[in-house]
Chain A
Amino acid sequence: MPALLIKNGRVIDPASGHDAVADVWIEDGVIRGVGPNLSPGGAEVFDASGLIVAPGFIDMHVHLREPGFEHSESIESGARAAAAGGFTSICPMPNTAPVNDSPTVTTYIIEKARRHAVVNVFPIGAITRGSKGEELAAIGSMRQAGAVAISDDGRPVMNAQLMRRAMEFARSFHMPVINHCEDLHLSAGGDMHEGVESVRLGLRGIPGSSEDVMVARDILLAEVTGARYHVAHISSRHSVEMVAYAKLKGLPVTSEATPHHLTLTDAGMIPYDSNYKMKPPLRSSSDVNAVVEGVVTGAIDAIATDHAPHAGSEKMQEFEKCPFGIIGLETALGIALECLLHSGKINLNRLVELFTINPARILGLERGTLAPGTTADVTIFSTEQQWTYDVNKSFSKSRNTPFDGASFRGGPVATIVAGQIVWKA
């Protein structure tokens, strides 16, 4: 493989504190150097003038639907959508069929990804067998097989004692425990956020408290067990407050927010359109403001998409019958630039952190930086180029998004994995 020289971009690497126009020299799949006026002989040149050159983005929360639901997405198609969104690494949740609750399934995913995925795939294993919330899954063996965290995403562990044991066990293997926080009794039957909109539309509500009581429980358990605990797709203002409190107390608690929870509200959804149906639901504007503020103040550490593909026929039904979730890999950066950077809420360094070194640290991945010697995963993006999202051109097999036709200022330009350009705008 010839060397690659990314020239004249603004190189932002929060982990090393680098933020200046520079060249990035890549050879043999690793970063060889970052600095002004590099000129290795025989290198292919990528002109990044006017663009941002950042460590490869990491999406720590996606659903690739394989094995089991390949009509909605596959490891291959999901990885292509990730590359088109500027992501070089993605972490699929274990709710496949079979559930990723054993080293066999973990190995299957990793092998399949090695052969067919254009980006890195770091699987997340289940907390309990079959994610049924009854007995612990083979956590240690999944770790050995390559799982980077555990979660029963979508089917949260309701039994507090079991959650405590999971945290204790995961700590022994230095794995973070990620929870989709939802008290299933409080949210039972709900289709959207509980509030004036659900009352007006006659839809059953999912109260903010269904998220909050589980975040509260888990933070207390994290303190008891000393486990590294991560709140997935945080969406309610009280949950953001509690994570901030846990951090203040010095607990190893982190959280992520999705692009849609940073921008959309229950009042803004098109009534009964399932492209606005997800868990947690789109909440009130005060919750959305709190999530944005959480990103600003640091209560929220990462942006993750919760990319959740569903085939068209599944989303073309009565609202209450439609499955939860939307795709999000290709629009994440455009949305984040819009609502966080262009709005003046955070600077570019912080934005890059949210997509790179922070998720890498949470998961213990040796990624998320451009330090010489590390794997050459690089995301090149623009903060200015205007573009419009056309979901019919998506690499995902599914089309469920409320952002079809949305216009953005800035987005991914090229995605480089281990020194190879895997996608270019």
Chain B
Amino acid sequence: MKGLLGIEDLTRDEVQAILDRARHFQVGPGQRFRKFDLLKGRMVVNLFFENSTRTRTSFELAAKGLGADAVSITAQASSVAKGESLVDTLNTLGAMRPDAIIMRHSASGAPHFLQRHLGIPIINAGDGTHEHPTQALLDARTILDRGKQLEGLRVAIIGDIAHSRVARSNVFLLAKYGADIVLCGPASLLPPELKQLAPGVTLTTDMDEAIRNADVIMMLRVQLERQHEAAFPAGEYFPFYGLRLEHLKLAKADVIVMHPGPINRGREISSEVADSQRSAILNQVENGISVRMAVLERVLSGEQNAGAAH
């Protein structure tokens, strides 16, 4: 029984194996995803306690693409709305014998807490402000697809770092490859302890400095719903921390711009940048499916025997 709770717990070899395997599931431009029956007869439950379009859909497509049955449940539609506790909800689902539970939750550590009390592998599809492991994996796959190496890569991650699970998972992943990671945002969203998160991390509140010589710029959404009080003066975000075309001149000529979505045009990124040749945002979405296929295959194929015992 081994799910995927976070990137931090994985070794570099484990990360690399997923990235390599994901290539097998990729398709060329304009092609449809191929169907496999590698997980025929298996069942996964998509349990989303937070809104999500791309992550939930791509997990669902990934499961179906491997021949598994996928059931999606959103918290509003489930008994959670009737006051059932998280443990009871998961125990109820567990009794239906899924082979894995894919879970998104607004509380950091919710999947870790459940994994201690539940025998079914849990795949973390984002927990609060902690980790979003499949996002970091698909980001790495996207960077590699553009012909860049992760070793020695200079990556600027810009925005609401404090509340970003995407930033944390990316930091953990990139650090395993010795990348040079610059985290940038207003000081109120950039706790100094971030520097100790992993080797190779530096912090700056100056956007130009962060972008200078960058191979990759990752923009983050401003998560107003997770900020419990105003972290910056109204109207001062985009002028100081929004990515505009002129910034790209400071970066390497072949810089790629990424964003986990959903993007807020004119808040953290200008439309011109989001739609430019340098943007890899749609490649990220595409890779979401192939990377999640690789993750599901990895988690579920290790389950063959345990599954038969049910």
Q: Is the CB of B229 within 8 A of A316?
A: no
Pick from B85, B109, B193: contact of A199, CB below 8 A.
B193
CA distance A195 to B105 in the complex (A): 23
B165 within 8 A of A: yes
A271 CB within 8 Å of chain B: yes
CA distance A199 to B127 in the complex (A): 14
**A-contacting residues, B197-228, CB 8 Å:** 197, 228
A196 touches B196 (CB 8 A): yes
B109, B162, B168: which contacts A318 (Cβ < 8 A)? B109
Within 8 A of A (CB), among B59-99: 85-87
Instruction: Pick the interface stretch among B128-136, B174-182, B276-284.
Output: B128-136
| Interface pair B228/A189, CB less than 8 Å apart | yes
Shortest Cβ distance from A199 into B: residue: B193
Contacts of A248 in B (CB 8 A): none
List residues 99-126 of chain B with CB under 8 A from any CB of chain A: 105, 107-110, 112-113, 116-117
- Minimal beta-carbon separation of B85 from chain A (angstroms): 6
B109, B162, B196: the one within 8 Å of A201 (CB): B109
Interface residue tally on A, bucketed by range: 20 to 34
A200 at the interface (CB under 8 A from B): yes
Are A202 and B197 in contact, with the CB atoms below 8 A? no
Establish whether residues A272 and B194, one from each chain, have CB atoms under 8 Å apart when the complex forms: no
Q: A188-B229, A317-B85 are in contact. Are A202 and B193 (CB under 8 A)?
A: no
Q: Is B191 an interface residue when CB atoms closer than 8 A count as contact?
A: yes
Do A319 and B108 have beta carbons less than 8 Å apart? yes
**What is the CB-to-nearest-CB distance from A343 to chain B, in angstroms, rounded to a whole number?**
28
Complex partner residue of A202 from B113, B130, B196, B229, CB under 8 angstroms: B130
B105 touches A196 (CB 8 A): no
Which residue of chain A has the shortest Cβ distance to B85 in the bound complex?
Answer: A317
Q: Does A313 sit at the interface, judged by CB under 8 A?
A: yes
Residues of A154-177 whose CB lies within 8 A of B: none
Interface size counted on chain B using CB atoms at 8 A: 28
In the bound complex, CA of A317 to CA of B49 (Å): 14
Question: Would you call B113 and A319 a contact (CB within 8 A)?
Answer: yes
- List the A side residues contacting B86 at CB < 8 Å: 317-318
> Is A202 touching B127 in the complex (CB atoms < 8 A)?
yes
- In the complex, the answer to whether B197 meets A272 with C-beta atoms within 8 Å is no
- Is A19 interfacial (CB-CB < 8 Å)? no
What CA separation (Å) do A271 and B116 show in the bound complex? 11
B229:A271 contact, CB within 8 angstroms: no
Contact present for B107 and A320 (CB under 8 Å):
yes
- A321–B107 CB distance below 8 A: yes
Chain A residues whose C-beta falls within 8 Å of the C-beta of B110 in the assembled complex: 272, 318-319
Chain A, residues 186-205, CB within 8 Å of chain B (1/0): the string is 00110000111011111111
- Name the A residues within 8 Å of B112 (CB-CB): 271-272
- Flag if B107 contacts A199 (CB, 8 Å): no
Mask for A108-133, Cβ within 8 A of B = 1, else 0? 00000000000000000000000000
**Binary contact track A250-277/B, C-beta < 8 Å → 1, others 0:** 0000000000000000000001110000
Q: How far is the CA of A318 from the CA of B107 in the complex (A)?
A: 6
Bound CA–CA A203/B129 (angstroms): 7
CB distance from B168 to the nearest CB of A (A): 6
B107: contacting residue among A200, A316, A319, CB under 8 A: A319
The answer to whether A272 and B85 touch across the interface, beta carbons within 8 angstroms, is no
A320 / chain B contacts, CB cutoff of 8 Å: 107-108, 128
If A271-B112, A319-B109, A321-B107 touch, does A202 touch B128 (CB 8 Å cutoff)?
yes
Residues of chain B within 8 A (CB-CB) of A196 are 193, 196-197
Interface contact A202-B228, CB-CB below 8 Å: no
Q: Which chain B residue has the least Cβ–Cβ distance from A198?
A: B193
Chain A 71-90, CB within 8 Å of chain B: the 1/0 string?
A: 00000000000000000000
Contacts of A188 in B (CB 8 A): 228-229
Contact B85 A202 (CB under 8 A): no
Determine if B85 and A203 form an interchain contact, defined as CB atoms under 8 angstroms apart. no
- Whether B108 and A201, one on each chain, are in contact in the complex, defined by CB atoms closer than 8 angstroms, is yes
A–B complex contacts, Cβ < 8 Å, 26 sampled = A188-B229, A189-B228, A194-B191, A196-B193, A196-B196, A196-B197, A198-B193, A201-B109, A202-B108, A202-B128, A202-B129, A202-B130, A202-B168, A203-B108, A203-B109, A203-B128, A203-B130, A204-B228, A272-B109, A272-B110, A316-B85, A316-B117, A317-B85, A317-B87, A320-B128, A321-B107
List 10 tightest A-B contacts by C-beta distance, closest first: A202-B130, A272-B109, A318-B107, A202-B108, A202-B129, A196-B193, A199-B193, A196-B196, A318-B110, A272-B112
Other 15 A-B pairs with CB < 8 A, given A188-B229, A202-B129, A317-B113 = A198-B193, A199-B193, A199-B194, A200-B197, A202-B165, A203-B108, A203-B109, A204-B129, A271-B109, A272-B110, A273-B113, A317-B87, A318-B109, A320-B107, A321-B107
- Which residues of B are in contact with A by a Cβ distance under 8 Å? 8, 85-87, 105, 107-110, 112-113, 116-117, 127-131, 162, 165, 168, 191, 193-194, 196-197, 228-229
